[in-house]
C-alpha cells in the first residue's frame, strides 16, 4: 500500500490555517515495524502512526516552548537498523525502536533538517542553515542518537534525498548540482554532467534512479532524468509537470502536480514510464506535500 502525505489537513477557513501550515500538517512519511509513520507539524512537531492506512493515532507532540526539543516541525523520517529516525526544524532529531516511544537527544541548532533517508547502514539528513554566515550541512548517524555533521555540497541547501542501493550511495539535489554521498564516505561529490535544478521529486525503480521536475528559468522545461548506474544519465520530457515523484513497486509511478487558484488544486498522476501521465483531479480542499511511502502491510 502507498500512503500520500498532505501539506495541509485543514481548509483555509480554519483559524489554524496559515498558507497551508498547521500544527497537524504532514511533512514526511516512512514505513517500518508493520506501521506507517507520518511526521510534521508547524509550531510543534508531531508523530502519527497507522497499521491499516485508514485509522491514525497521534503518538506524541513535542512542544518547543515547553523545555522539550525546539522541534518546530519534522521534515521527514526514515526506518533502518531496527529503528525509526525523524529530523526537522531547529536541529531536532529523534529516534524510536517501535515508532511509539521516542528519544530526542539532539539539541538546538540554527539548521532545519528538511529530509532524511536511510541506506548502507546510515541515516543521512539534508536541509538548510539560517545561521550567519550560513553553514549548510548534512548529518550522518547509524542510530539516530549520535550524529556527525559534514559540509553540504558547495555549502548549498537541499530539500530532498534518496538512497539507491545499486548505486552504492545517496543522491540529493543541491541547486543545479546533483550530489552523491557514497557508502562509508563523509564527503558529497557532484555528479558530472547532471543539472538537477528544479528537481521536485526523486525515486528508484528496479535499481534505476529517477529525478523529475521543471527548470526554474524560461522556457521552464519539464524533465525526467534517469540512470541505471549513476554515471550515464538519460533525459526525457514528461507530458505534464511533476511536483512530486514516487515509484510504488506495482509497476507504475505516482506523482502530484498543482493548479494554483486559491487554494491550490492538487492533481494526482500515474504513469508506467514517468513520461506519459494520466491525471485525476482531487475532489477535496487538501493538497499533497509530495511525500509518498510504500509499505508491506497489504499485498
Q: Give pLDDT tens digits for 2-45.
A: 444 444 444 445 544 444 566 667 788 999 988 889 888 776 77
What would the grid cell of residue 195 be?
A: 543539472
Indicate whether 152 pLDDT > 90.
yes
Q: Say which DSSP state 152 is in.
A: P
CA distance 55 to 168: 36
CA distance 299 to 284: 27
Of 164 and 74, the one with more pLDDT: 164
How large is the C-alpha radius of gyration of the chain? Answer: 18
- Per-residue confidence (pLDDT) for residue 238, from 0 to 100: 94
Tell me if 181 is assigned to some domain: no
In the chain, pLDDT over 70 holds for what percent of residues?
Answer: 80
Tell me how far CA of residue 27 lies from CA of 11, 125, 160, 290, in angstroms.
Answer: 17, 14, 12, 9
In the chain, pLDDT over 90 holds for what percent of residues?
Answer: 52
Tell me if 19 is assigned to some domain: no
Q: Which pLDDT tens digit goes with each residue over 112-137?
A: 999 999 999 999 999 999 999 999 99
Contact status, residue 111 vs residue 128, Cβ threshold 8 Å: yes
- Per-residue confidence (pLDDT) for residue 55, from 0 to 100: 82
Q: Which pLDDT tens digit goes with each residue over 267-286?
A: 778 899 999 988 876 655 45
Tell me if 66 is assigned to some domain: no
Instruction: Tell the burial category of 270 from Cβ atoms under 10 Å away from its Cβ (0-12, 13-18, 19+).
Output: middle
Of 187 and 106, the one with more pLDDT: 187
Q: How many domains does the chain have?
A: 1
Average confidence score pLDDT of the chain: 84
Q: How confident is the model at residue 264 (pLDDT cuts 50, 70, 90)?
A: low
**Stretch among 158-162, 204-208, 288-292 having the lowest mean pLDDT:** 288-292
Tell me if 269 is assigned to some domain: yes
**Stretch among 53-62, 77-86, 164-173, 204-213 having the lowest mean pLDDT:** 53-62
Tell me how far CA of residue 211 lies from CA of 5, 45, 241, 264, 298, in angstroms.
Answer: 19, 29, 12, 24, 27
Tell me if 254 is assigned to some domain: yes
Tell me if 184 is assigned to some domain: no
Is pTM, for the whole model, over 0.85?
yes
Indicate whether 190 pLDDT > 90.
yes
Residues with Cβ < 8 Å from 151, sequence gap 6 or more?
135, 136, 137, 138, 187, 188
Q: What is the extent of the structural domain holding 230? A: 197-284
CA distance 247 to 226: 13
Tell me if 233 is assigned to some domain: yes
Tell me if 270 is assigned to some domain: yes
Amino acid at each position: 500500500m502507498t500512503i500520500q502525505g498532505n501539506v495541509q489537513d485543514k481548509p483555509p477557513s480554519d483559524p489554524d490555517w496559515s498558507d497551508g501550515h498547521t500544527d497537524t500538517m504532514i511533512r514526511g512519511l516512512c514505513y517500518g515495524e508493520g506501521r506507517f509513520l507520518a511526521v510534521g507539524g508547524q509550531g510543534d512537531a508531531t508523530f502519527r502512526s497507522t497499521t491499516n492506512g485508514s485509522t491514525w493515532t497521534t503518538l506524541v507532540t513535542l512542544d518547543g516552548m515547553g523545555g522539550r526539543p525546539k522541534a518546530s516541525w519534522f521534515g521527514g523520517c526514515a526506518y533502518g537498523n531496527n529503528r525509526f529516525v525523524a529530523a526537522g526544524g531547529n536541529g531536532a532529531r529523534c529516534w524510536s525502536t517501535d515508532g511509539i516511544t521516542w528519544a530526542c537527544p539532539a539539541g538546538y541548532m540554527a539548521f532545519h533538517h528538511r529530509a532524511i533517508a536511510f541506506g548502507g547502514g546510515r541515516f543521512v539528513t539534508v536541509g538548510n542553515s539560517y545561521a550567519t554566515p550560513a553553514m549548510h550541512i548534512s548529518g550522518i548517524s547509524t542510530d539516530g542518537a549520535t550524529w556527525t555533521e559534514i559540509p553540504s555540497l558547495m555549502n548549498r541547501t537541499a530539500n530532498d534525498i534518496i538512497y539507491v542501493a545499486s548505486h552504492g550511495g545517496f543522491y540529493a539535489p543541491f541547486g543545479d548540482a546533483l550530489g552523491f554521498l557514497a557508502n562509508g564516505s563523509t564527503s558529497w561529490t557532484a555528479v558530472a554532467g547532471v543539472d538537477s535544478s528544479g528537481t521536485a521529486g526523486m525515486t528508484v525503480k528496479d535499481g534505476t534512479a529517477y529525478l523529475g521536475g521543471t527548470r526554474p528559468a524560461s522556457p521552464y522545461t519539464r524533465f525526467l532524468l534517469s540512470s541505471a548506474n549513476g554515471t550515464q544519465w538519460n533525459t526525457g520530457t514528461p507530458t505534464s509537470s511533476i511536483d512530486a515523484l514516487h515509484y510504488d513497486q506495482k509497476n507504475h509511478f505516482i506523482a502530484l502536480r498543482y493548479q494554483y487558484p486559491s487554494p491550490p488544486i492538487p492533481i494526482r498522476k500515474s504513469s508506467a514510464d514517468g513520461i506519459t501521465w494520466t491525471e485525476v483531479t482531487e475532489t477535496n480542499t487538501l493538497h499533497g506535500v509530495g511525500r509518498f511511502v510504500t509499505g508491506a502491510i497489504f499485498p
